Structure 1
């Protein structure tokens, strides 16, 4: 690395970052803040003064920024330390593009007395090479004596953001390919002269539509997991949703192999909610119920209304052992092996985080297993003030 990171004429050097005032603050704050506490944080962490200059930091910050010299860290603003392209020739936070900086927004919010979390995408320019950072920035106010400081933690999320982007692109392209198969299969079915060809084309279309449904489900779950899912409330006729889920699995390989039938009971009513999310909730519960059902049994789906809420019940004759009961909604927990277990977890996320409802279950040898989902009939109706995780489990 070049010893002269900044140009001698750069304002970043002209205001002498590591001044005697900064060193004085550094020594004073070390007495009030245990350095070992800051050093124990695995991610880069540092404390800023009211001028947004670094006055205390942990070794991880030095490693990530690629700067070992204390006099080149103390007194600098974050963008200057990371050699942000927007801080070249200007002080960090004073360029026009800085208004879009997530780190600056988080720190400015902390300066108002509130904690903040923002995403910062930063381009660093060192030794004629560009490096991109994607950082989650957490900033909080910190009062020591009568002075106001700000503690900042950085988390490098570059890999996870890249993975998320690649997954979205992959799912988008895969869905387009599957929809192409659906369209081609439909044309083949319409143009086929023999019943055997029409049946084969119909099977291709059914399988492709099932794949498209699974891809759509995963895309919705991914959006929910990353908190990017937007709720679109609309009038929903409940019977249509239940009938659609039943049609998906009736006659499918899942039910044929075990000779499982689906029985739907519902009152004639509508509610205002997100139809896509409600469909995925019921679909996941039905899918899990089919997989958990003994052969030659029935999966029941029921919908009723009570106290301005809709109650959905999905039942099967299987039972949940007590040893598994309290892990049912845990992410990635499954009794079906590795790579499974998102079904009930997604139901809980969709129901409680997006539809303002609640989900629970009971299980016994006599009555089998029943999963319940309760959501408001209208998005203006508040969620029930009841225990969000009630279980009635018997062996």
Structure 2
């Protein structure tokens, strides 16, 4: 009996060992199977993400081409009309009419140039090919240049108010980006404000940062559109009939954030808007 028991125990041990080996093999197979499934899922998700990005890119390209076609067609038509009319106004007493059409041509060319610059900025932002140049400059230089250029775009009776204190501030920043940001906000204020209204520029220091504000009494931004206002190509419902690409604020926001700054706003439809830029005074600190 003892011999039988020993033999039985031996067989049980052997079968148990075989069973354990089989379980280990099954676990390894299951592990490999799970890894294979995981790899397939990751590959599938990667393909889905690639497809999503491709669809998104195609949509952006379609929107871009439509935008370019629309935004270039109108000013080019205006330039062509003005050139044709200029040929008719040859008499000395018609100088005023010639000047009017020359101004139209100049404004349209500036507009087209700004659009091209915006598109180039987008390309550089998306590709990461940004090269910021920091210099020391007096704030009054930038403010005066921006306001001087903006004055040529003012509607009848519009005026720009600037603070007297701008000479006090010295910045170490990328002056081209600051000029771009302020120009964008002021041009928008002019475009979306009626005649005989004031656009107010505010400047103050807050610790190691400069705060800039641009306040207008324009059409404002509908509340439902405000959360999208910095999205690329977005146009507020009440601004669709005005010329514009919907990319200016997106570009400004990207640049300011790259420089450690922010842009925010408060707006009420048919009341006006206040945009605020918060930017470090000195990029060395």
Residue 303 of structure 1 deviates from its aligned partner by: 1.9
Q: Is the 8 A contact 2:118 2:248 kept in 1?
A: no
1:215 paired residue number: 116
Residue 207 of structure 1 deviates from its aligned partner by: 5.1
Larger Rg: 2
TM-score (norm 2): 0.62
Alignment of 1:357 with 2:266, yes or no, is: no
1:329 paired residue number: 230
Q: Is the 8 A contact 1:243 1:264 kept in 2?
A: no
Q: Is the 8 A contact 2:135 2:172 kept in 1?
A: yes
Residue 367 of structure 1 deviates from its aligned partner by: 7.2
Alignment of 1:348 with 2:253, yes or no, is: yes
Residue 217 of structure 1 deviates from its aligned partner by: 4.0
> Among residues 41, 47, 55, which one is paired with 1:37 in the alignment?
41
Counting matched residue pairs gives 221
- Note closer, same or farther for the CA distance 1:222–1:248 as it changes in structure 2 (3 Å cut): farther
Distance 1:203 1:242 in 2: 25
Unaligned runs of 5+ in 2: 1-27, 66-91
Residue correspondence of structure 1 range 277-296 to structure 2 within 5 A = 277-296=177-196
> Among residues 258, 263, 285, which one is paired with 2:161 in the alignment?
263
1:310 paired residue number: 210
Residue 33 of structure 1 deviates from its aligned partner by: 4.2
Richer in helix (by share): 2
- Residue 231 of structure 1 aligns to a residue whose secondary structure is coil
Q: Is the 8 A contact 2:118 2:247 kept in 1?
A: no
Residue correspondence of structure 1 range 183-222 to structure 2 within 5 A = 196=95, 199=99, 208-209=109-110, 211-222=112-123
Unaligned runs of 5+ in 1: 1-24, 46-135, 137-154, 168-193, 382-395
- RMSD of equivalent CA atoms: 4.1
Distance 1:317 1:206 in 2: 23
Residue 39 of structure 1 deviates from its aligned partner by: 5.1
1:275 paired residue number: 175
Residue 205 of structure 1 deviates from its aligned partner by: 5.4
- Residue 312 of structure 1 aligns to a residue whose secondary structure is strand
Residue 337 of structure 1 deviates from its aligned partner by: 2.6
For residues 186-220 of structure 1, the C-alpha deviation after alignment (integer angstroms, 9 at most, x for no partner) is: xxxxxxxx794994767755654554444334323
Residue correspondence of structure 1 range 44-83 to structure 2 within 5 A = none
Structure with more contact order per residue of length (Cα contacts < 8 Å, sep ≥ 6): 2
- Note closer, same or farther for the CA distance 1:42–1:308 as it changes in structure 2 (3 Å cut): closer
For residues 77-115 of structure 1, the C-alpha deviation after alignment (integer angstroms, 9 at most, x for no partner) is: xxxxxxxxxxxxxxxxxxxxxxxxxxxxxxxxxxxxxxx
1:372 paired residue number: 276
- Residue 344 of structure 1 aligns to a residue whose secondary structure is helix
Residue 245 of structure 1 deviates from its aligned partner by: 1.7
Distance 1:309 1:359 in 2: 13
